[in-house]
A and B are shown apart, each in its own frame.
Chain A
C-alpha cells in the first residue's frame, strides 16, 4: 500500500466532522478500495453535493467537484458523458441523494450510467442541526420530530435496484472490511453502482434518541443489521426491523455511455457516406 495519507490533501486535515462521526470511516474505506485496485489518481473524479458527507471530497487529493445541493449525480452524468474514460465517483448523503436529489438518483439508475455512488446514510440532516430526513426510521426522534418520526423511511438499496442500478450493496461504518470489499466491487462494475453506508451521527441522531456516544450509536447500527448470507438461514420474525447488509444485487445491463457512443458512431458513419436521401432517419427527411 502506498502511504495512506498520500490520497489526502494533508493541509486541510484534520477534518471538520464531529468526534465519532462515521463519514471519516467511509472516506477511509473508499481510499483503501481505490488503493487496493491500484487506480490512477489522475483518472478519478469525485463529485459531491451539499451536506456533512459531501465535505469528504474537499479532503481527498483527486480531481474533485463540490456542487449544488442534490445535483452531484447531474454533474457527474455530465462529466461521464464528456469523458467516458474517467472513473466518476459520487459521494453523497442520505438527504442529498434521496430527498433533494431523488429524481437525479432514480434517473441515473434508470440510465445505468457508469458512476459509483456512495450514499453515506446517517439518517438525519446533520449539517443543519438534526432535522429528520427521508431515511430516519419510523418512531425515531429528531429536532423536527420531537414526538417521534411519523413517516416511514426509504430503502435506498431497494429504490436503486427497482430503478435499474446494476450493482447495489449496503454496509455500515462498523463492518469496514465488508464496506471496503463492496466499494472495490462497485468500482469494478461497469454500470450504475450504489453502495449505501450506514454511518453514525452521535451529535444529533445519537443525542436526540438518547443512544449515548459514538460507540453506543455505532453499536445500535450494528444490532440493526444482518448479513444477507446469514439472513438466508434466519426465520422471518427474527429479521423483523433488521436491515440486510452485503451485496444485495448484481446484474448486467447495457451501460449508458457505451450505448450512446455506439449510436454516435453509427450516425457518423451514415453521415460520412452521405449520398442523398434521409440518412436512415425516417421522420426527418431533409
Chain B
C-alpha cells in the first residue's frame, strides 16, 4: 500500500468517542514493543510528544493518522472544529486508520446524531467528505477494535507489507471471514441445536439468542480477547460490533419469520440455508440432547 515509512510518527485523534479503542490498545500484551518502534505525537492515554492543544494549533509531520470516534462536523475541541483538524492531518499522513466502528461506519453516535458519520461511511452508505484520502485509508471496525488488529496493522505498515483490503477498506486478513469462523460451538450450529442458556458453554446462540457471528466479519474467535476468550466462548452472543449496522436492535433474540432466521449466514442464499438446516434438524444427535457439563462445573467456584 505504501513504501516502507522513513519515520514512525503516529497521531491519534479522538472525535466523538467513548475512548474505548484507546483503552483497548492498552490491553495489548506487547504494547511496549510497539512503543519502542513508533512515536506517538499524541495519544489520549499514552505518553506523547505533544499536548492536544499543540496538535490542534499546529501542523506536525506524521506518517500514520489514527482516528477514533464518529465525525460530527459541528464538534469543537479547544474551540477548533475537529473535522478541520482531521482534514488537515489526513492530508499530511501517509496512512489513515479508522480505529473502531464509530470512525469507520458512524456507530452508536450516528444513531442519535444525524450529522455524525464514519470517515468514509454512514452505516453502509459511502460519504463524500474524505473521498480524496480513500486510497490511503484502512478501516478497523469493532466496538472496540481488538488491540491486536491495531498492533498488527501498524506493524504491517511499518514493514511496508502489502495489505489486501476489501470494499470497505478493511484488511481481509482480519475481516475476510466471519466471527463464526473459529467458534467452539460449531458442532451445535452444524446440527442446529440451540439448547443454550446465557453464560454457559453449551448450545448454539444463533438459533434463538441473537448471535450475529455467522454474518459478522471479524476475527474474534481466532484472535482471542486477552489471548484467551471471545464473547461466544464466554456464553454471550456476538453483537455484530464490526458491521456497518451496529448497534442492531433487539440483541439476544434471533429475529425470525415463521421460525426462519431473518438473517442468513453471510453470503448464503436463504433457500440453501433452509434446505441444509431442514436436513440437519431431522437428525437427533443423542450426544447433544443432554447437558455435557454438570451445572456449575469448571466455570463456578465450589463453596
- Does B bind A? no
Which B residues form the contact surface with A (CB < 8 A)? none
